[in-house]
């Protein structure tokens, strides 16, 4: 692999199916955290109910794919209600605790050996995307866009995904410029003040939790469709934190923040992996094996990413699209 | 049942006119401390009522109870004859009883005009799906904006309308909070220490604004601990000390009431109190010393 291929591969990943998945997850989190100030640390749970509803309904119970997608979205609504009813009246940190615990509990349940027949244990569910592959209009040979190439099905998923992202961005733009969005932002700033003005804060927080959760389920469903597989390891706790990283890089409470964040995050996550992989391989590597061997190189991307996240939080806490003035006010 | 006799009693209590809010037997304890223990409390309609008392008298706690932000151990209270016990804060506000906060709660990362618009009630655009369709709420929004600008001009904040509320000074925040509360168009506006942390020049203008609220037909209840502040503008004064109401009446009557002087004015007749902890501790110490010297005499 040449250095040029390292670059093109990174670009392919930056717009690829995985970037779509994390972009959607971050859009959901943006409604929770960015606009409403809800600390949801269990976005993986919303992704999981979406993904598993589709995987299990189609593979285990032989249901129609499209119907299963609808059920997956409804399942996210139910999960949001279950998490929200007891916690949204309490202080913000209770939601954080409940969501992170729920995500991990759900993951353990779905991956349990005793539910192997229904959910497939650690292997999860797979091969449930036939209905979608059948309607794939992209030529079988894939798509060649000059320096980057995609396989046919991947490109189809990306197409659906980015169109969905675009539609959601328009929807969120419309929502957030409206009085409804103003109430959410008011709640983020000070919910008692909003209460004192006659707004039912609990109801608005619930609406935000449901909306962001449903978008999270879309991310889980896209993830399942893209890889034709849903497994417990796809929805570990770090999934949620990757989504937060995407959001914070791009800028919270900005409509396009998650989109830009997802592109950058996946470009660097894969670019760094390929770079260090290449730099430590071969007979005369760029980085001498005394400093780093190829096994160690695979960890470098997360180390560098952690460093970048720290630097962003210190020097540009509002993210790339954020407004510094707004954040300066926060400290007063 | 006993409403008529009750009303009669109230009329005599504050020299004629009807009452907008009546509270009976409201108590609230924090651990072993009985923070609020009010037998009977009422607010005359269309007047300015001042709720005063030394620091720690339970004024703000009582305020929180009346507006639903805190739950009492027992007690009941009515607003316009309707019970408000157990009613959540947002419903209290919708019924026409709106409060402000001692520590000002402006929404920092919203602009001044957005803060104001948020106060308007019954907005069609605040429902989830209709909010996406701008034409459904644009007309109402324009009307609200116009009303907001009128209020901002009155409070001399119109030049700041596009600034973030977080960039305002302390006094301007008090004004914004008061203006925002007026966007709800309340019958009873409850101001929790509107004068706290405001410079003396702005205090006078704030007092003017409080008076203007009464002049346009609203009822005002405000919490204050500086007696001099309330003398000019209030029609009715209620004094709290250690959770109980120790006296009520016209400002002059209250100021000559020995119970008030004991509880409050005796210790710091001239000293202006502020609400930061240091002076609170100092004041408490002074009070204790005063009580001791009284005993020794």
Q: What is the pLDDT of residue B294?
A: 67
Q: Tens digit of pLDDT for each residue in A99-137?
A: 999 999 999 999 999 999 999 999 999 999 999 999 999
Contact A175 B132 (CB under 8 A): yes
Q: Tens digit of pLDDT for each residue in B91-108?
A: 999 999 999 998 889 999
Q: What percent of chain A is modeled with pLDDT above 90?
A: 74
Q: What is the pLDDT of residue B254?
A: 86
Q: Tens digit of pLDDT for each residue in A149-177?
A: 999 999 999 999 999 999 999 999 999 99
CATH number of the domain enclosing A243: 1.10.3470
Work out whether strand A125-126 and strand A229-230 pair parallel, antiparallel, or are unpaired.
Answer: antiparallel
From chain B, pick out residues whose CB is under 8 angstroms from the CB of A201.
90
Alpha-carbon gap, residue B19 to B94, rounded angstroms: 19
Q: What is the pLDDT of residue B220?
A: 95
Q: What is the pLDDT of residue B279?
A: 64
Mean pLDDT of A197-215: 97
Mean pLDDT of A78-97: 92
Contact B108 A199 (CB under 8 A): no
Q: Does a structural domain hold residue A332? A: no
Mean pLDDT of A306-324: 85
Q: What is the pLDDT of chain A when averaged over all its residues?
A: 92
Q: Which of residues 205-234 of A touch B (CB under 8 A)?
A: 207, 211
Mean pLDDT of A243-267: 94
Angle between helix axes A65-87 and A43-59 (nearest 10 degrees) is 150
Q: What percent of chain A is modeled with pLDDT above 70?
A: 98
Q: Does a structural domain hold residue A107? A: yes
How many structural domains comprise chain A? 1
DSSP letter, residue B169: -
Q: What is the mean pLDDT of each run of 10 residues along chain B (297 residues)?
A: 42 64 94 91 94 87 93 93 93 95 90 96 93 94 96 94 91 92 95 85 86 93 81 89 90 84 60 57 74 66
How close does chain B come to A241, measured CA to CA in Å?
Answer: 25
Q: Which domains does chain B have, with CATH numbers?
A: 17-106+185-255 (3.40.50.300), 108-167 (no CATH)
Q: Does a structural domain hold residue A311? A: yes
Mean pLDDT of A266-270: 91
Q: What is the pLDDT of residue B147?
A: 96
**End-to-end Cα distance, chain B:** 51
DSSP letter, residue B166: G
Angle between helix axes A294-315 and A257-279 (nearest 10 degrees) is 150
Largest CA distance in chain A: 71
Q: With bands split at pLDDT 50, 70 and 90, how would you rate the model's confidence at A318?
A: confident
Contact A174 B127 (CB under 8 A): no
From chain A, pick out residues whose CB is under 8 angstroms from the CB of B167.
329
Asked if ipTM goes beyond 0.95, one says: no
Phi-psi category of A198—alpha, beta or left, where left has phi over 0 and alpha has psi -120 to 50?
A: left
How close does chain B come to A39, measured CA to CA in Å?
Answer: 18
Q: What is the pLDDT of residue B123?
A: 94
How close does chain A come to B54, measured CA to CA in Å?
Answer: 25
Residue A232's domain comprises 3-327
Q: Report how many Cβ contacts below 8 Å link chain A to chain B.
A: 112
Mean pLDDT of A233-260: 93
CA distances from B16 to B19, B48, B80, B185, B235 (A): 9, 14, 17, 25, 12
Q: Does a structural domain hold residue A293? A: yes
Chain B, nearest residue to A206 by Cα: B128
Q: What is the pLDDT of residue B56?
A: 83
Q: Is the confidence at residue A69, as pLDDT, over 90?
A: yes
């Amino acid at each position: 692999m040449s250095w040029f291929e390292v670059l093109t591969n990174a670009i392919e990943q930056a717009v690829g199916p995985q970037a779509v998945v994390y972009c959607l997850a971050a859009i959901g989190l943006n409604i929770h955290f960015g606009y409403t100030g809800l600390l949801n640390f269990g976005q993986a749970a919303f992704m999981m109910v979406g993904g598993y509803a589709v995987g299990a309904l189609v593979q285990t119970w032989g249901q129609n794919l499209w119907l299963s997608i609808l059920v997956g979205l409804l399942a996210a609504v139910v999960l949001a209600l279950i998490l929200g009813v007891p916690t949204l009246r309490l202080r913000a940190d209770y939601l954080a605790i409940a969501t992170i615990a729920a995500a991990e509990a759900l993951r353990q349940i779905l991956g349990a050996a005793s539910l192997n027949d229904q959910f497939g244990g650690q292997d999860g569910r797979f091969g449930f995307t036939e209905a979608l592959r059948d309607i794939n209009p992209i030529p079988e040979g894939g798509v060649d866009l000059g320096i980057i190439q995609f396989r046919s099905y991947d490109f189809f998923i990306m197409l659906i995904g980015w169109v969905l992202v675009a539609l959601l961005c328009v929807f969120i733009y419309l929502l957030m410029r409206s009085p409804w969005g103003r109430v959410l932002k008011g709640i983020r700033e000070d919910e008692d003040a909003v209460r004192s003005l006659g707004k039912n804060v609990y109801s608005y927080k619930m609406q935000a939790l449901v909306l962001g959760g449903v978008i999270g389920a879309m991310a889980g469903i896209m993830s399942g469709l893209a890889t034709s597989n849903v497994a417990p390891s796809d929805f570990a706790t770090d999934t949620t934190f990757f989504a937060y990283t995407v959001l914070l890089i791009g800028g919270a409470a900005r409509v396009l923040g998650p989109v830009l964040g997802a592109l950058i995050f996946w470009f660097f996550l894969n670019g760094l992996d390929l770079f260090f992989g290449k730099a430590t391989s071969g007979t005369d590597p760029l980085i001498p094996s005394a400093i780093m061997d190829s096994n160690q190189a695979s960890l470098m991307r997360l180390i560098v990413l952690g460093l970048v996240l720290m630097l962003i939080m210190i020097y540009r806490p509002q993210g790339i699209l954020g407004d510094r003035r707004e954040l300066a006010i926060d400290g007063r | 049942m006993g409403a008529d006799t009750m009303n009669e009693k109230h009329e005599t209590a504050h020299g004629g006119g009807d009452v907008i809010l009546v509270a009976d037997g409201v108590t609230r304890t924090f651990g072993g401390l009985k923070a609020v223990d009010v037998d009977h409390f009422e607010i005359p309609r269309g007047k300015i009522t001042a709720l005063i008392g030394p620091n720690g008298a339970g004024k703000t706690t009582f305020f929180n109870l009346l507006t639903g932000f805190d739950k009492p151990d027992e007690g009941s209270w009515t607003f316009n004859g309707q019970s408000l016990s157990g009613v959540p804060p947002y419903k209290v506000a919708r019924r026409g009883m709106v409060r402000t906060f001692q520590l000002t709660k402006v929404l920092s990362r919203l602009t001044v005009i957005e803060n104001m618009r948020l106060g308007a009630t019954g907005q069609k655009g605040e429902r989830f799906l209709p909010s996406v369709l701008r034409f459904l709420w644009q007309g109402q929004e324009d009307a609200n904006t116009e009303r907001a600008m009128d209020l901002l001009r009155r409070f001399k904040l119109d030049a700041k309308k596009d600034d973030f509320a977080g960039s305002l000074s302390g006094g301007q925040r008090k004004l914004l909070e008061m203006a925002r509360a007026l966007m709800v168009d309340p019958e009873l506006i409850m101001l929790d220490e509107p004068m706290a942390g405001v410079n003396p020049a702005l205090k006078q203008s704030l007092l003017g604004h409080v008076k203007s609220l009464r002049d346009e037909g609203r009822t005002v209840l405000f919490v204050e601990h500086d007696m001099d502040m309330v003398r000019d503008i209030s029609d009715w004064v209620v004094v709290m000390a250690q959770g109980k109401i120790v006296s009520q009446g016209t400002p002059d009557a209250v100021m000559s009431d020995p119970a008030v002087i004991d509880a409050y004015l005796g210790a710091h007749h001239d000293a202006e109190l502020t609400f930061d902890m240091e002076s609170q501790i100092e004041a408490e110490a002074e009070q204790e010393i005063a009580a001791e010297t009284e005993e020794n005499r």
